[in-house]
Amino acid sequence: PDTAEVDPAGDLRLAGVSLGAVAEEHGTPVYVLDAATFVRRAGAYRDALAAHHAGPSEVHYAGKAYLSVAVAQLALREGLHLDAVSVGEVRVGRHAGVPGDRIHLHGNAKTAAELREARRLGVGTVIVDSLDELRTLAELARDGVPQAVMLRLSPGVAADTHPHISTGHAGSKFGIPLSLLPDAARLLAAAPALRYVGLHCHIGSQITDLRPYRAAVRVLLDAAGDLRRWHGWTTRTLSPGGGLGIAATAGEPEPAIEAHVQAVAAEVAAGCERRGLPQPKLVLEPGRSIVGPAMVALYRVVAAKPLDARDGEATAYLHLDGGMGDNVRPAMYGARLAALPVSGTCRPHRLVAHLSGRYCESGDILARDVHLPEVRAGEVLAVPAAGAYTLSMASSYNHVPRPPVVLVFDGHARLVTRRESHDDLIARDAALPEPLAAGL
């Protein structure tokens, strides 16, 4: 995070707050959110879009990366809109005070009930993923409340990223295949309560090569041209999605936000001019690249289990008090994480450690071969760039409650999401019903 520093005593601080002190006060594991990093990255998107795109523009924070009431409010404060992928996320946004017309609803399997609820909550635009969804929405909008829709297209562009998070290739489960665009347009044309506003696609996440992104923009603009020819429609809004990658460990490439936005805006400008299309409103939906680097996860080493020394270096498992329950990314995508102690950060590296999670699964290793000082049981480790797709994908596997979030800013630390409790977890359960309970 931007505000990270090592104080003269060798202790790590974020926004002037000692991370060791946060771990003491709130327990571990705990996630620490640096407001300044979030704000700067959100602002980088907003300002670069305003600087490089000729038409209007909006940044929609992708809540799936991480959403809480405080984060929704921080995004709103920075002038961002909200990209929600479920009614649950819409509810968080509305609860946080995000106006409905600043919320886009995504998702590839929105039920009629979910769409109805989203409309009741005032969601501005629905990003339609299939022809069946168009039919459902057309039916719902017969209640007299018109509905703005964007079509999510499957652009047939392969991005160089993990297969689980590539979304725009031919055959992807997401989006309307280009071959079905004529049918989608006919359905839309026949539903007067549905108002066509534009086109969307998303090619994947953790993308560092921006060329496929630009190819996707060209596909969207071709489709915009088709819709104009077939039906005379103007594509007022164009959203090539989110997806910019971040570096989680030293030496990984990290594309600059401004360069990315500039490249996309240039592609849109040139493409519109070539096709004689008006400059649309340009929407980007970043999640990871805003919140990822803004959060640090803190874990306590519960036990250090030495392994055979390798090439003269000590090796060990460091058993942490968190793991795949709060961060499934290493197990699920082979994601790599870095780690460093929050105290005595500057000690020489003497240990090659595997950071093993606490969950009952051999695959629960947060990171392998991490170079660290000689870390002992009881020490606290910080894992940087841990904000995206960690807590938002967290589970309570092994009935381990999910961690809290502490927001740090200007020397202050405030709990913004409390730790889940065992009572929270048990509260959903009912006792064994009679007559099965008779023999208890």
Active site residues: 360
List the interface residues with ligand LLP, window 319-378 (CB under 6 A): 329, 333
Segment lying near ligand LLP (by CB under 6 A), choices 240-248, 274-282, 304-312, 396-404: 240-248
Q: Which of 53, 81, 102, 202 binds ligand LLP (CB under 6 A)?
A: 202
- In sequence order, what DSSP letters do the residues of 228-296 get, joined into one string? HHHH-----EEE----B----STT-----HHHHHHHHHHHHHHHHHHHTPPPPEEEE--SHHHHTTTEE
Segment lying near ligand LLP (by CB under 6 A), choices 31-39, 60-68, 181-189, 226-234: 60-68
CB closer to ligand LLP out of 165 and 266: 165
List the interface residues with ligand LLP, window 398-437 (CB under 6 A): none
Q: At what angle do helices 69-77 and 35-52 cross, to 10 degrees?
A: 40
| 8 A C-beta contact, residue 236 and residue 205 | no
Asked if 159 is part of the footprint of ligand LLP (rule: CB under 6 A), the reply reads no
Asked if 28 is part of the footprint of ligand LLP (rule: CB under 6 A), the reply reads no
Residue 224 and residue 200: Cα distance in Å, rounded? Answer: 11
CB closer to ligand LLP out of 323 and 341: 323
Q: How many C-alpha atoms does 397 have within 13 Å on its Cβ side? A: 16
Asked if 175 is part of the footprint of ligand LLP (rule: CB under 6 A), the reply reads no
| 8 A C-beta contact, residue 356 and residue 320 | yes
| 8 A C-beta contact, residue 168 and residue 159 | yes
Asked if 46 is part of the footprint of ligand LLP (rule: CB under 6 A), the reply reads no
| 8 A C-beta contact, residue 166 and residue 119 | no
Segment lying near ligand LLP (by CB under 6 A), choices 58-66, 113-121, 181-189, 297-305: 58-66
Segment lying near ligand LLP (by CB under 6 A), choices 50-58, 286-294, 361-369, 375-383: 286-294
Amino acid at 258: E
Asked if 63 is part of the footprint of ligand LLP (rule: CB under 6 A), the reply reads no
**Three-state secondary structure call for residue 316:** strand
| 8 A C-beta contact, residue 353 and residue 383 | no
Q: Does 66 show up as a binding residue in the annotation? A: no
- Please report how close the Cβ of residue 326 comes to ligand LLP at its closest, in angstroms: 13
- Please report how close the Cβ of residue 206 comes to ligand LLP at its closest, in angstroms: 5
Asked if 286 is part of the footprint of ligand LLP (rule: CB under 6 A), the reply reads yes
Segment lying near ligand LLP (by CB under 6 A), choices 23-31, 128-136, 236-244, 264-272: 236-244
Asked if 129 is part of the footprint of ligand LLP (rule: CB under 6 A), the reply reads no
Element (H, E) at 49: helix 35-52
* Residue reference for tokens 């209007």: 56
Asked if 212 is part of the footprint of ligand LLP (rule: CB under 6 A), the reply reads no
Q: Which of 206, 237, 327, 417 binds ligand LLP (CB under 6 A)?
A: 206
Q: Does 361 show up as a binding residue in the annotation? A: yes
Residue 211 and residue 361: Cα distance in Å, rounded? Answer: 38
Asked if 31 is part of the footprint of ligand LLP (rule: CB under 6 A), the reply reads no
Q: Which of 11, 34, 285, 364 binds ligand LLP (CB under 6 A)?
A: 285
- Please report how close the Cβ of residue 371 comes to ligand LLP at its closest, in angstroms: 25
Taking the CB of residue 305, how many other CB atoms lie within 10 A of it?
13
Asked if 260 is part of the footprint of ligand LLP (rule: CB under 6 A), the reply reads no
CB closer to ligand LLP out of 38 and 300: 38
Q: Which of 46, 288, 300, 358 binds ligand LLP (CB under 6 A)?
A: 288
- Please report how close the Cβ of residue 407 comes to ligand LLP at its closest, in angstroms: 20
Amino acid at 378: G
194: closest CA among 241, 136, 237, 236?
Answer: 136
Asked if 397 is part of the footprint of ligand LLP (rule: CB under 6 A), the reply reads no
* Residue reference for tokens 């999910």: 402
- Please report how close the Cβ of residue 402 comes to ligand LLP at its closest, in angstroms: 16
Asked if 387 is part of the footprint of ligand LLP (rule: CB under 6 A), the reply reads no
* Residue reference for tokens 């974020």: 14
Q: Which residues of 344-370 are buried (b: 16+ CB within 10 A; e: fewer)?
A: bbeeeeebbbbbbbbbeeeebbbbeeb
The one-character DSSP state at 134 is H
Residues forming the site for ligand LLP (CB under 6 A): 62, 64-65, 83, 106, 165, 167, 202, 205-206, 241-244, 285-289, 329, 333, 388-389, 393
Binding site as annotated, residues: 243, 285-288, 329, 333, 361, 389
